[in-house]
Each structure stands twice: as structure tokens, then as C-alpha cells.
Amino acid sequence: MALNLLFGIPLLTAGLLTAVAAFGILELQRRGFRPLEAAISGMVGVIVLAFAFQMFYGEPEGDRILAGLFTPQFVDTNSVLLAAGNV
């Protein structure tokens, strides 16, 4: 579904691509821990690069990022419960 929404790939083709990727990862697991570890590290690296690209592309204001990082703003008790994960 995600490949269809992101890239417009038909659902059957996207499902087949997902199956090939899943079996590829399982094949790496069969070959040993290091190839599987390298593949997962590569996928995490792609996510980090995409996040970094979005940070520079979006040009966020540095002071607002730091303000939200060190002093979270809670509007009412519901936002505190939401932040704590108890909702």
C-alpha cells in the first residue's frame, strides 16, 4: 500500500516487490549475521539521510527546535496524558 501511495506503483507489483525484498532479507539471514546486519544498517542509514534532507529542505528555525527540545509545552492535562502514553 505504501509503495502505491508514495510512487503510484500498482498494488500487485508493489506486493511482489515487497515479497522479493522480504525474501531477500531472509536470504541474508540464512547467510549469516553480518550480511543481515549490513542490510539493516543500510536501511537505517537511508532513513537518517532522508531525515537530514528533510531538516535542511524544510529550513526549520533553530531557536524553536531547541525551545521544544528542552521545554515541552503542555496545554492541559490531556496533553500530559498523551505525552506519557496513557491515553
Confidence of residue 85 (pLDDT cuts 50, 70, 90): confident
Rounded to whole angstroms, how far apart are CA atoms 18 and 1? 10
What grid cell was written down for 10? 500498482
Domain that holds residue 68: 33-73
State how many domains the chain has. Answer: 2
Closest to 36 (Cα-Cα) out of 45, 25, 44: 25
- 80 in any annotated domain: no
Question: Are 27 and 53 in a shared domain?
Answer: no
Angle between helices 11-31 and 33-58 (to 10 degrees): 130
Tens of pLDDT, residues 19-75: 999 999 889 888 888 999 999 999 999 999 999 898 888 888 878 777 767 776 777
Q: What is the pLDDT of residue 86?
A: 62
Q: Is the pLDDT of residue 9 over 90?
A: yes
